[in-house]
Chains A and B, each alone.
Chain A
Amino acid sequence: MFDKIRLIDLMGLWVQISPGSDEPVYVQVAEQISEAIARGELSSGDKLPPVRKLAAELVINPNTVARAYSRLEQAGLVVTKTGSGTYVSDPKLRKADAADFNILTERMDTLITRGLNLGLEQQDLIEMFKTRVEKFTKK
């Protein structure tokens, strides 16, 4: 239990904001939290830090943090219980909509083009992809 709380406290440190980047700030926050969930650092049922604390931590506007949370909620990754904060939802409930998929495909295209530019063969790419996927799904 102890490490989990620590984990959540440390949660703020994992989210890195780079204002100069292309995506808006709230998109960055939402992305990084969803990645953390995907990576398994946040298992279902964990409590995300409250809006005001995270805003103070990251020195960004509380409304942006709130919007990031609402975006995660739409993606079904997170569920907010009124009064007690927001929690990571369990995987079954997650639903993805078309917008997420084409973001995914887009990301894949950029990966593949970069790989081809490096002169890799199609085979090597598939090989690499397989090993990475196993790493995630092993747990």
Chain B
Amino acid sequence: MTETVLESQSLTKYFGKTVAVDHLNLEIPRGCICGFVGRNGAGKTTAIKLMLGLLKPTIGSSKLLGCDSMALTPVIRQRIGYVTEGHRLFRWMSIGRLEKFQRAFFQKQWDERLFADMLEYFGLSKKQKIKHLSNGQRAQVSLALALAPNPELLIMDDPTLGLDAAIRRQFLAGMIELIMREGRTALFSSHILGDVERVSDRIVVIDKGRLRANCTLEQFRNSVKKVKVAFADRAPTEFEIEGLLNCRRSEKELELVLIGTDSNRINEWAKTVGAEKYQIVQMNLEDQFIEYTAPASKGKLFRWEEI
């Protein structure tokens, strides 16, 4: 079992009465890209801040690179790269000064050539002030800043929020480039599942502060299935199938969302229930995620009844 980079034991944080992160037990192995996926307000940012020791957990604890995140020593923090949500940097600094400021904290570790190359690739000059940069450019700068010290663990909090496709692609390329080097891990939270699918090995789904899934992308893709079953006469109201997450009935049809049941199990079940025909719907990651976290059990948002 490879060494775990980040683990948390029943990590919980209450903001006033509402729970932001609820007993998170997480383990992320070294050497993978892990996608933090969750709906808005599911507690992704809070979880990341808790793990980085920026916030004090109400209960439980978390470990980063083997050291408790409340007592992260400067040496360990030096090996962690963190991109804040919204790429917040000091607006009054110019890029050159910001680089000089950051370099003071990473003496030997700082890879100047890489930083210069990235800036040149992004087409940014060192004299530009951060406040004059657009969102995308600021994101590029913070990516360059995060990758330059060649961190062992890179944590990005929603890096691709509101960026155009090209910059997003550069972010993903940057992460992959980091992963290439031996023993590096990247953990990034995102809303664009296309990126997550393209880049991440493992996926962590957080829903309402609770950990819903922590597996490799492939396992997640294989296990979430949607089956459309058509019946000759009336669709049965009660039925029993293992791994049923959610089902929608219409007059003659049943739409089931199954987790983890393999196809021949479905085949047998269809025969026992006497379905006329059934069809496993191919779903991409986004649909799977939506089914998994926000099943439309209450029916569609907008219904068009024929008059």
Complex Cα spacing A52 to B177, Å: 9
Contact A56 B177 (CB under 8 A): yes
Contact A22 B283 (CB under 8 A): yes
Q: Which residues 16-34 in B have Cβ within 8 Å of A in the complex?
A: 32-33
Smallest CB separation, B300 vs chain A (Å): 21
Smallest CB separation, B278 vs chain A (Å): 15
Contact A62 B176 (CB under 8 A): yes
Give the residue of B172, B180, B284 whose beta carbon is less than 8 angstroms from that of A59: B172
The verdict on B197 contacting chain A, using a C-beta distance below 8 Å, is yes
For A52, give the chain B residue with the smallest CB separation. Answer: B180
For B285, give the chain A residue with the smallest CB separation. Answer: A19
Contacts of A60 in B (CB 8 A): 176, 198-199
Complex Cα spacing A114 to B43, Å: 46
Interface residues on B, range: 20 to 34
For A24, give the chain B residue with the smallest CB separation. Answer: B221
Give the residue of A21, A24, A62, A67 whose beta carbon is less than 8 angstroms from that of B180: A62
The verdict on A36 contacting chain B, using a C-beta distance below 8 Å, is no
Contact A19 B198 (CB under 8 A): yes
Q: Which residues 260-307 in B have Cβ within 8 Å of A in the complex?
A: 282-286
Bitwise, B197-221 to A at CB < 8 A (1) or not (0) is: 1111100000000000000011001
Bitwise, B216-229 to A at CB < 8 A (1) or not (0) is: 01100100000000
Contact B179 A56 (CB under 8 A): no
B residues whose Cβ falls under 8 Å from a Cβ of A: 32-33, 169, 172-173, 176-177, 179-180, 193-195, 197-201, 217-218, 221, 282-286
